[in-house]
Chains A and B, each alone.
Chain A
Amino acid sequence: MMTYSEVEAVTGYVGNFNVTVRKKARYVDPNECTSCAECAEVCPVAVPDEYQQGFSSRKAIYLPFPQAVPSAYVLNMDDCLGNNPIACGKCADVCDKNCIDYDDQDKLVNIEVGVIITATGMDVYDPTEYDEYGYTRHENVITSMEFERLICAGGPTEGHFIRPSDRKTPQTIGFIQCVGSRSRDGRGNPYCSNICCMNTVKDTLLLCDHYPGIEAKVFYMDIRAFGKGFEDLYMRSKEEGVKYIRGIPGDVTEDPETRNLLLTVENTTTGKLENHELEVLVLAQGVIPRRDNDRIRKLLTLSTTSDGFIMESHPKLKPVDAPTKGIYIAGCAESPKDVKDSVTQASAAAARASILLNAGKTKIEAITSQIDADKCNFCGICAQVCPYNAIVSSDRKTKRLPVIIQAACAGCGACAAECPQDAITMRHFRDEQILAQIEAILAVEPHKHLLTFACNWCSYAGGDDAGTARLQYPTASRLIRTMCSGRVDQKFVLHAFKLGAPIVLVSGCHFSDCHYISAVHWTQKRMDKLWNKLDKLGVRPDRLRLEWISAADGQKFAKVMRELDDVIKNVTMDEIEYTMNVLAEEEAKAKEKKTKTRVEVQA
């Protein structure tokens, strides 16, 4: 176990990851330290204790928290006065075991691992944004994390709950739910933080147990007691006399004399405006992704949802697998969840990892890319495009070809679509195969068909959803399945138009659902290029469409098909003929240019 350490870099791929870890300097030898605390006793520096939410202080040399592993002190050099005998050095003087080393340095450690489990946790929402609750103005407004420290036996008050302004045990206490969660007003987050309702229910039960007769009120919009035994807990809390008031206070003010908090709330059950006076108010702050999640995402080549949590490979079938092979996710790194769900997910991730480790080898899908050495001109675009860093870039100077790491390639096909030399072949989705499908679809009455490229995971499944839901849409649509919309090469679209397609639709996953991290970004970029090209050639750009359709959105799939069927009717035969001619000319010109270049090179 490497504590007080940070991952600096991760290279390699499934089964062969190389992880660089920075072991931060502790300035205390953890093997020798016995946690006797004599160093902390003589340390003259006192700073707010982060673990106790600032309710108590710690020294510059300290034990981060009582259950810290290893049970050894650590010296925070930012707080320490230093080993200058004039300045300080007291801790080193009193340490009998001589385990304090002021010259300790960070160490970089390289580890080779086969799989990685990401369990990087979450942060909590800062409620200062909700100014109406007065968190920064009123001393007796605290957060649920602060409440946790105050009621905890290991906390600064040894579990005696006091209100901060006068250190007396309050008789009336209120909780405001959903602070920073389920918000649509631009503040906080739109998602439910999952744990706050039951955390508050537990807090009220603790209060009722510790202080019989205490008056507790919970202001909520909905109580989500969905887990095993949760409803019972909620009912128990109600039976203990806790009042649940459906309504979120709009304003919190303070009585300057008593320091009590005055709340105004519309009780949406009775429809009446109510005033409440409380001694302490607890804000049930929501859960947010770790603030350094973006760094973790880049380190491990992961993707995140629009909320900022790490995205799983598949929400139902691979809930603990990351899109990058050999990486698994557990806990709140993936989404807000309680302890039980985190443990369940961690067990699943460990089991998934052990399957791979015990097997010693992994099966990969045969849908991967390969380089044609004769065609590659060492431009390096493929390596830039790859969302998985599965391509070791080429080198034009040394004429080193790019190398595709087959175990890391996920098969999106973005590299094949972007390669300007057509030097990449996507197994099972080769250019020839897709072009042949286009030709087959447009062989008879092409002007009547709506050619659609649909990605395997979302749009194609969206079509399935429309079918199973028996949604009606015109029969003009013809689908070509690709693993990702990122595989749709410009030449596929142009070829379709050249063969007389009135409309071409490219459809894929929403950005937040992309099964290939960011391959879908290249689809949008390519579409911009295609629209400009069509415009330049005098072809209406609106004959090429782009839609993001999720697997569960059969309704959208059917709607788009119906709309485009109407658009087909507006495309005239003259337009189609003009497009076919202009693209045939373009193709001829391109071929001529290519032949000329080859002749020049050979000469």
Chain B
Amino acid sequence: MAVTETRFKCLNCGHEYDGIYDSQVVQERTCPKCRSNSVRRLPKAKPDKAKK
């Protein structure tokens, strides 16, 4: 489970994009749109709990 597809968000221009996240290999992130490095890996949305 080291490599997962993750959504990234640039905190400079707000651009969101999908990319590969490898927890073993840390890679420098750069926004493809504005070249800022303030790129946040968005946490996965938790699934809604099934109602009883």
- Complex contact A521–B26 (CB within 8 A): yes
Q: Which residue of A lies closest to B30 (CB)?
A: A548
User: A225: which B residues are within 8 A, CB to CB?
Assistant: none
B37 lies within 8 A of A511 (CB) = no
A518 within 8 A of B: yes
B12 touches A563 (CB 8 A): yes
What residues on A are CB-neighbors of B41 within 8 Å? 528
Q: For residue A521, which residues in chain B have a CB less than 8 angstroms away from its CB?
A: 26
**Contact of A511 with B38 at beta-carbon distance under 8 Å, contacts A532-B43, A545-B11, A545-B12 already known:** no
Chain B residue at minimum C-beta to C-beta distance from A518: B26
What's the least CB distance linking B27 to chain A, in Å? 7
Give the distance to chain A from B28, nearest Cβ to Cβ, in Å.
4
Q: Say whether B29 faces chain A, with CB atoms less than 8 Å apart.
A: yes
| CA–CA, A527 and B36, complex, Å | 14
- Interface check A578, CB cutoff 8 A: no
Q: Could you tell me the distance in whole angstroms from the C-beta of A516 to the nearest C-beta in chain B? A: 14
Q: Count A-B contacts at CB 8 Å.
A: 37
Q: In the complex, how many angstroms separate the beta carbon of B21 from the nearest chain A beta carbon?
A: 10
B26-52 vs A, Cβ < 8 Å mask (1 yes, 0 no): 111100000011111101000000000
**Which of A518, A541, A546, A563 is B37 in contact with, Cβ under 8 Å?**
A546
Max chain A Cβ within 10 angstroms of own Cβ: one of B29, B36, B37, B41? B37
Which residues of chain B have C-beta atoms less than 8 A from A478's C-beta? none
Chain B residues 1-39 with CB under 8 Å of chain A are 11-12, 26-29, 36-39
CB distance from B20 to the nearest CB of A (A): 15
A139 cross-chain contacts in B, Cβ below 8 A: none
Assess whether A470 is interfacial by the CB under 8 Å rule: no
CA distance A531 to B40 in the complex (A): 7
Q: Mark A542-554, 1 if CB is under 8 A from B, else 0.
A: 1011111000000
A524 and B26 in contact (CB under 8 A), knowing A531-B11, A541-B11, A542-B11?
A: yes
Q: In the complex, A563 Cα to B11 Cα: how many Å?
A: 12
Tell me whether A510 is interfacial, beta carbon within 8 Å: yes
B11 engages A510 (CB within 8 Å): no
Q: Is the Cβ of B28 less than 8 Å from the Cβ of A548?
A: yes
Q: Smallest Cβ distance from A487 to chain B, in angstroms?
A: 17
Q: Is the CB of A511 within 8 A of B27?
A: yes
A541 CB contacts on chain B under 8 angstroms? 11, 40
A563 to B12, CA, bound (A): 9
A525 within 8 A of B: yes
A542-B31 Cα distance, complex, nearest whole Å: 14
Contact A510–B38 (Cβ < 8 Å) = no
Structural contact, B26 and A545, CB atoms closer than 8 A: no
Tell me, rounded to whole Å, the shortest Cβ–Cβ distance linking B36 to chain A.
7
Min CB distance A558 to B, Å, is 15
Give A124 to B41 CA distance when docked, in angstroms: 38
When the two chains form the complex, which single residue of A510, A518, A528, A563 contacts B40, counting CB atoms closer than 8 Å? A528
Say which residue of A525, A542, A544 sits within 8 Å of B26 (CB atoms). Answer: A525
Q: How far is the CA of A15 from the CA of B28 in the complex (A)?
A: 34
* Measured CA separation A524–B27 after assembly (Å): 9
**Most B-side CB within 10 Å, residue of A510, A546, A548, A563:** A546
List of A residues within 8 angstroms of B27 by Cβ? 511
Interface string of A524-540 (1 = CB under 8 A from B): 11011001100000000
Q: How far is the CA of A598 from the CA of B22 in the complex (A)?
A: 38
Distance, CA A525 to CA B38, complexed state (A): 12
Chain B residue numbers with a CB within 8 Å of A524 are 26, 28-29
Check if B37 sits within 8 Å of A548, measured CB to CB: yes
User: Which A479-517 residues have a C-beta within 8 angstroms of B?
Assistant: 510-512
Which chain B residue lies CB-closest to A306? B28
Least CB distance from A564 to B in Å reads 9
Q: How far, in angstroms, from A563 to B34 measured CA to CA in the complex?
A: 12
A451 to B26, CA, bound (A): 26
- Closest B residue to A505 by CB, please name it: B38
Assembly CA distance A260 to B39 (angstroms): 54
Query: Across the interface, which residues of A come within 8 angstroms of B38, CB to CB?
Result: 542, 544-547
- Determine the distance from Cα of A437 to Cα of B29 in the docked complex, in whole angstroms: 29
> Contacts A531-B11, A532-B43, A542-B38 known; A510 to B28 CB distance under 8 Å?
yes
**Closest partner residue, chain A, to B23 (CB atom):** A525
**A521-B26, A542-B12 known; 14 other A-B pairs, CB under 8 Å?**
A524-B29, A527-B40, A528-B40, A531-B11, A541-B11, A541-B40, A542-B11, A542-B38, A544-B38, A545-B11, A545-B12, A547-B36, A547-B37, A548-B37
Would you mind naming 14 contact pairs between A and B with Cβ atoms under 8 Å apart?
A510-B28, A524-B26, A524-B29, A525-B26, A531-B11, A531-B40, A541-B11, A541-B40, A544-B11, A544-B38, A545-B38, A546-B37, A546-B39, A547-B36
B interface residues with partner A (beta carbon < 8 Å): 11-12, 26-29, 36-41, 43
